[in-house]
Chains A and B, each alone.
Chain A
Amino acid sequence: MSAGSVTAHAAPSAWGRVRTYRPPSRYLPVLATCALFFGMFAIGGVRYEGFASSQVVLNLFVDNAFLIVLAVGMTFVILTGGIDLSVGSVVALSTMITAWTLRDGWPPVAAVAAVLVVSTGLGLLMGLVIHYFDIQPFIATLAGMFLARGLCYLISIESIPIRDRTFFDLSAAQIPLPGGLYTTPAVVIALVVVGIAAFVLHRTTFGRTVYAVGGSESSALLMGLRVARTKVGVYAISGFCSGLAGLLFALYMLSGYSLHAVGMELDAIAAVVIGGTLLTGGRGFVVGSVLGVLVLGTIQTFISFDGTLSSWWTKIAIGVLLLAFVVLQRLVTRRQP
């Protein structure tokens, strides 16, 4: 946010340039989310003892690593103007496949590969159906959601514990940071995913096409962009991210269960919307979605720190934030021609 990026009209003073600086409107929603996150954190720090510590911030990442990965995949889909309702079920299916294959004595690498292949395959299938049969993303991914949950029950109706040594060690592993702080391997994986996603979206042809398709699919088609490949690709990416999120979730819970992650697709969508991505597609940033996840995490931290607030306030707070951001987006888009 440097003042130098503003084209000066009559060479005003440095202070004048800073004072009149207006960030480009496309960054406004992300900046609003950023302000909201820091604002909430400041309020928490004032109200509760021990809230404003670095470890609390790190724990936001530790407890929500899977949601960050999920929101990244969802961002790709929503940027093209689609939606993916299947992610929560695919997370459950991934935990189930992990637990099941590990119990049957598969090496961890094979289990991980199986999960990623199945989840990416499911996403790819949904993308193909959506694009080539022109079925609304909402209903196609709804079918995917039912399919994944059904497959979970087909594997086992009971919860399967994970007793594999590697998974056990990974889930207990802590990466020490300076100052007596720590983080977990899951956080590192999540941040790497965020980095790759940001690179793909802003530095590759595929990423540019994602924005173009979201802006106007017919224009993108007329420009000769690879619309088909992109539209199918984003659902495959979302499927891959759901699989990876499922692996992280399996590490977090150390079990596979068909009722894991019920309603998590709503959290992911909420995080993306709160992060300032437009649901009509074409506008938004991966960083915004990460901030959205952190805001959701902060609400939960708030409630656990308070102790007198009941858990259902989380849902109400998420709903209110969702509303605020949707209305804000509506105002931002209406002002432009």
Chain B
Amino acid sequence: MSRVTGHPLFWPLLALALLLVVNVVATPSFLDVRVQDGHLYGNLVDIARNGAPVLLVALGMTLVIATRGIDLSVGAVAAIAGAVACVWIAGGAGEGSAGKALTGCAIALVVCLVLGLWNGFLVSVLGIQPIIATLVLMTAGRGLAMLVTDGQITTVNNATFSRIGGGFVLTLPVAILIALAVFGLTALLTRRTALGMLVESVGINPEASRLAGVRARTIIWTAYVFSAVCAGLAGLMIASNTNAADANNAGLWIELDAILAVVIGGTSLAGGRFSLGGTLVGALFLTTLAATIPNIGIPSETNYLFKAVVVIVVCLLQSPQARASLAVRRRTRPAPVEAGAAA
């Protein structure tokens, strides 16, 4: 039993299961999944599809956080990706062609790659704190996205493009398949090669791992590039869902959701260890929470309140100090902090 409860994914999975139980109690048909016109429909499919962009962003964020960094710019990068793709598709002749959609997405992803290189350069070469280095792009990024769309909400009419967010392949939504493919690829690369261990070693001590022969700078740089490309993919998904690029609101607060998903999954913000499976559960938990609140008859705007409670509970569970004070065996010696305060 203790092996089950001791598993890092036990508590996140339990929380997710609890949420689903609450939903089933409120609406008994909540878990129903039906096939209609060869497509899967149902609340669970909706949750997975809505969770796809958050999962993508959170995957990149997981690796960045594992290197003891953070990437605040992902929301802005997602907005830029959507803006670039939509403006490219809407401009010129052949708006509906598949080729135009594909080149648009490719250009958007290349732009994101460049933005990731920029973030990585600031952090790994100039040695600027990650929070502030990515804050630059977070502030300027939405301005850049508006520059691309000229401040308008650019709408597109392209069947291939709208398939990214809303299409189906083999009865499953494309968005879920893309997110799962990226998840599988990341898991393969980090857990079946030494890459994951190297990322963790950089997160624990960049200087020591550099002395041990790990290319710390390259690894940190790559993590930011990966994060930006994931954010770009998520941005394309969001834009394709609405068939429009909204520079102001696309991917708004997605960086906070992604960080939250990573934290819920048990990845420490102090860097040095990460759990991709945890991130997957975390992202699903957040989207399930968002679906639960209207389902049990509470206005969906109060979502924030529940998120706050989740953050506080998760942080307290992860904090050694809080665990110690919760433990039955009370410590007799005062914590060093209190000793300092009394002096």
Q: Does B302 contact A (CB under 8 A)?
A: yes
In the assembled complex, which residues on chain A have CB atoms less than 8 Å from the CB atom of B316?
Answer: 133, 135
Bits for A188-228, please: 1 = Cβ < 8 Å to B, else 0.
00000000000000000000000000000000011011111
**Across the interface, do A319 and B139 meet the contact criterion of CB distance under 8 Å?**
yes
- A contact residues around B341 at 8 Å (CB): 226-229
Contact B319 A150 (CB under 8 A): no
Instruction: Compute how far the CA of A263 lies from the CA of B131 in the bound complex, rounded to whole angstroms.
Output: 15
Contact of B133 among A135, A154, A229, A326 (CB under 8 A): A326
Give the shortest distance, in Å, between A281 (CB) and chain B (any CB).
11
Q: Judging by beta carbons under 8 Å apart, are B304 and A149 in contact?
A: yes
Point out the residues of chain A lying under 8 angstroms from B139, CB to CB: 266, 270, 315, 318-319, 322
Asked if A132 is at the interface of the complex by the 8 Å CB criterion, the answer is yes
Are B337's CB and A144's CB within 8 A?
A: no
Known contacts A134-B321, A228-B341; A150 and B269 CB within 8 A of each other: no
C-alpha spacing A147/B313, complex, angstroms? 13
Within the assembled complex, what's the spacing in Å between the Cα atoms of A142 and B307? Answer: 10
Q: Is the CB of B70 within 8 A of A153?
A: no
Which one of B40-48, B49-57, B121-129, B226-234 is at the interface?
Answer: B121-129
Q: Decide: B137 and A319 in contact? CB cutoff 8 A.
A: yes
Q: Which residues of A contact B259 (CB under 8 A)?
A: 139, 142
Q: Mark A306-337, 1 if CB is under 8 A from B, else 0.
A: 00001111111011101100110010001000
Question: In angstroms, how far is the closest chain A Cβ from the Cβ of B71?
Answer: 12
Mark interface residues in B305-332 (1 if CB within 8 Å of A CB, else 0).
Answer: 1111001100110011110000000000
Q: Which residues of A contact B146 (CB under 8 A)?
A: 310, 312, 315
Q: Is the interface of A mostly helix, strand, loop or mixed?
A: helix
Chain B's closest residue to A153 (CB) is B301
B135–A313 contact, CB under 8 A? no
The answer, yes or no, to whether B256 is at the interface (CB within 8 Å) is: yes
Whether A322 and B302, one on each chain, are in contact in the complex, defined by CB atoms closer than 8 angstroms, is no
Specify the main secondary structure of chain B where it touches its partner: helix
The one of B70, B128, B136 that contacts A319, using a Cβ cutoff of 8 Å: B136
Given contacts A143-B312, A279-B131, A327-B126, contact A313 B337 (CB under 8 A): no
A143 touching B305, Cβ below 8 Å: no
* A228–B340 CB distance below 8 A: yes
Q: Taking CB as reference atom, which chain A residue is nearest B270?
A: A136
Given the interface pairs A136-B269, A312-B142, A312-B143, the reply to whether A143 lies near B311 with Cβ below 8 Å is yes
Contact between chains at B299 and A143 (CB < 8 Å): no
Q: Is the CB of A273 within 8 A of B312?
A: no
A334 contacts across to B, CB distance below 8 A: 127
Most interface-central of B70, B122, B340 (chain A CB within 10 A): B340
Candidates B128, B142, B263, B320; contact of A326 at CB < 8 Å? B128
Check A138 against B70 for contact (C-beta < 8 Å).
Answer: yes
Known: A153-B304, A224-B343. A312 touches B315 (CB 8 A): no
Chain B hits for A149, CB < 8 A: 304
A17 within 8 A of B: no
Contact A133 B337 (CB under 8 A): no
By the criterion CB–CB under 8 Å, are A258 and B301 in contact? yes
Instruction: Name which residue of chain B comes closest to A147, CB basis.
Output: B308
Nearest CB in chain A to that of B319: its residue:
A133
**Inter-chain contacts of A87 with B (CB < 8 A):** none
The answer to whether B301 and A312 touch across the interface, beta carbons within 8 angstroms, is no
- Checking A150, A310, A326 against B132 with a beta-carbon cut-off of 8 angstroms, the contacting residue is A326
Q: Would you call A151 an interface residue if the criterion is a C-beta within 8 Å of the partner chain's C-beta atoms?
A: yes
Q: A138-B269, A142-B311, A327-B128 are in contact. Are A147 and B305 (CB under 8 A)?
A: yes
Q: B302–A153 contact, CB under 8 A?
A: yes
Residues of B within 8 A of A312 (CB): 142-143, 146-147, 151, 247
Q: How far is the CA of A150 from the CA of B122 in the complex (A)?
A: 34
A-chain residues with CB within 8 Å of residue B321 when the two chains form the complex: 132-134
Further contacts, 7 of them, CB under 8 A, given A139-B259, A139-B269: A133-B319, A146-B307, A151-B305, A153-B304, A227-B340, A270-B139, A323-B122
- State the 8 A-B residue pairs at the shortest beta-carbon distance, nearest first: A319-B140, A150-B305, A315-B143, A150-B304, A147-B308, A312-B146, A146-B308, A153-B301
Interfacial residues, chain A to chain B (CB-CB below 8 A):
83, 129, 131-136, 138-140, 142-147, 149-151, 153-154, 157, 221-222, 224-229, 258, 266, 269-270, 273, 279-280, 310-316, 318-320, 322-323, 326-327, 330, 334
Of the A-B pairs whose beta carbons lie under 8 Å apart in the complex, a sample of 10, sorted by A's number, is A135-B316, A136-B269, A150-B305, A151-B305, A224-B340, A227-B337, A310-B146, A315-B140, A323-B122, A330-B126
